[in-house]
Amino acid sequence: MRRQPFYLIPRALSAYPLEGAQAVGNLAWASAFELWDSSGTRRALVPAAEALSEKLYAYWPAQDEADRRTYGEVLRQRFSSPRTSVAGLDLDRPRIMGVVNVTPDSFSDGGDRFDSGRAVADGLAMIEAGADLIDVGGESTRPGAAPVPVDEELRRVLSVVKALAEQGARVSIDTRRAAVMAEAAAAGAAMLNDVTALSGDPQSLSVAAESGLPVVLMHMQGEPQSMQAAPQYDHVSLDVFDYLADRIAACEEAGIPRHRLIVDPGIGFGKTLDHNLRLLADLALLHAIGCAVLLGVSRKSFIAKVDGPSEAKQRLPGSLAAMLNGIRQGVQIVRVHDVAETRQALAVWCCMDVSVLP
């Protein structure tokens, strides 16, 4: 049995409000919804006006009339509630998060000295190229990656976070460790980004609450070392939705208000190709959680599985295509390695939005 009485997956998405369309987040409108019930069965595809009206309840047994009505009202509010700003960034348009990995593949001499000066320079170049945020990570979470000791992770990231923050950059720290979150916040980080959605360290919920910073809660099934062995889901989009909804509830209980939380489906984190493609097709479902949505598809291996073998740096066209699929579904933040190319793709995509044309 699933956790929600029903699920409405937004369909027929557009960048402007057609008659009867329902806002899904603040950057997209849905003119139809696919209805799924709590057993994970697809029930119908209906116009938005019908999906968010009393007619919706015709699809569910009478005995939970009150639950349906309450949940229907909750869903309407969650879809429509304003997504204002995070880390001082107004979410009135898609925002770019540039990735700075301070991990062995970024080591200049391949030894155990990494080049923090180069990491800072890369971050500043990304800001110049149009990044609104810089995500700094010291522990590779690629499939098969071994954990990095905390003090090694701190040694890698703190000087980079501090230097970038001092230059006025909005820095996000990509870590699952409470100690790294606390130190990075003290060094000037403006956002926490946790691939374990604050479940990977017993202290991280309290540290995140204490920090006052916005937090990206990402879905991952299993651990990086083994997550790609045999990913299993009943229905991947509904399962990821339920997990993120549970993590939001845990954060609210720990004193982190919903408006400081951002959700992320975790493409590539314990998912097969089919799971990743289904999540990308159903992304707009996540707006029903009522938080901003972040998407990370940049250079990920699903692109090579779709188009044929390629090195990470040869996956820019696929990265841009998957990123724009997210933008069409109202995603507010995209996590990318290629900032200038992403900025140009977004500029062209957004300028054809009829709501801005004269």
Binding mask 62-91 for ligand 7PM (x = CB under 6 A): ------------------------------
- Taking the least distance from each CB to ligand 7PM, the nearer of 46 and 336 is 336
Which residue in 350, 260, 342, 340 sits closest to 297, CA to CA? Answer: 342
Measured from the CB of residue 301, what is the shortest distance to ligand 7PM in angstroms?
A: 6
CB 273 within 8 A of CB 231: no
Q: Which of 335, 338, 345, 346 binds ligand 7PM (CB under 6 A)?
A: 335
Q: Catalytic site residue 313?
A: no
Measured from the CB of residue 262, what is the shortest distance to ligand 7PM in angstroms?
A: 8
Residues 6+ apart with CB under 8 A from 230: none
Residues 6+ apart with CB under 8 A from 27: 15, 83, 91, 93, 94, 327, 330, 331, 332
CB 123 within 8 A of CB 98: yes
**What are the DSSP E strand ranges found in the chain?**
6-14, 22-23, 29-37, 42-47, 85-86, 89-90, 95-101, 133-137, 171-174, 191-194, 215-218, 261-264, 292-295, 333-336
- Taking the least distance from each CB to ligand 7PM, the nearer of 56 and 227 is 227
Touching ligand 7PM, residues 88-117 (CB under 6 A): 99
Q: Which of 267, 280, 292, 346 binds ligand 7PM (CB under 6 A)?
A: 267
Q: Catalytic site residue 300?
A: yes
Span interacting with ligand 7PM, options 75-83, 136-144, 181-189, 282-290, rule CB under 6 A:
136-144
Measured from the CB of residue 341, what is the shortest distance to ligand 7PM in angstroms?
A: 15
Tokens found for residue 336: 């990318």
- Taking the least distance from each CB to ligand 7PM, the nearer of 74 and 304 is 304
Residue that is written with structure tokens 């501090």 in the block:
162
165: enclosing H helix or E strand: helix 150-166
Distance CA 346, CA 321 (A): 11
- Taking the least distance from each CB to ligand 7PM, the nearer of 97 and 345 is 97
Question: Choosing from 300, 313, 315, 343, which is the catalytic residue?
Answer: 300
- Taking the least distance from each CB to ligand 7PM, the nearer of 60 and 302 is 302
For 230, list phi and psi in degrees, rounded to 5.
-155, 70
Residues in the chain, total: 358
Which residue in 326, 317, 270 sits closest to 13, CA to CA? Answer: 326
Q: Please count the residues of this chain forming the interface with ligand 7PM, following the rule CB under 6 A.
A: 18
Measured from the CB of residue 54, what is the shortest distance to ligand 7PM in angstroms?
A: 38
Touching ligand 7PM, residues 211-240 (CB under 6 A): 216, 218
Measured from the CB of residue 204, what is the shortest distance to ligand 7PM in angstroms?
A: 14
Q: Which of 3, 76, 93, 142 binds ligand 7PM (CB under 6 A)?
A: 142
- Residue 168, classed as helix, strand or coil, is coil
- Taking the least distance from each CB to ligand 7PM, the nearer of 51 and 191 is 191
Which residue in 112, 113, 153 sits closest to 136, CA to CA? Answer: 153
Question: Choosing from 95, 247, 271, 335, which is the catalytic residue?
Answer: 335
Distance CA 195, CA 173 (A): 11
Q: Is 141 in the site for ligand 7PM (CB under 6 A)?
A: yes
Q: Would you name the residues annotated as active-site residues?
A: 300, 335
Binding residues vs ligand 7PM (CB under 6 A): 99, 141-143, 174, 193, 195, 216, 218, 264, 266-269, 294, 296, 300, 335
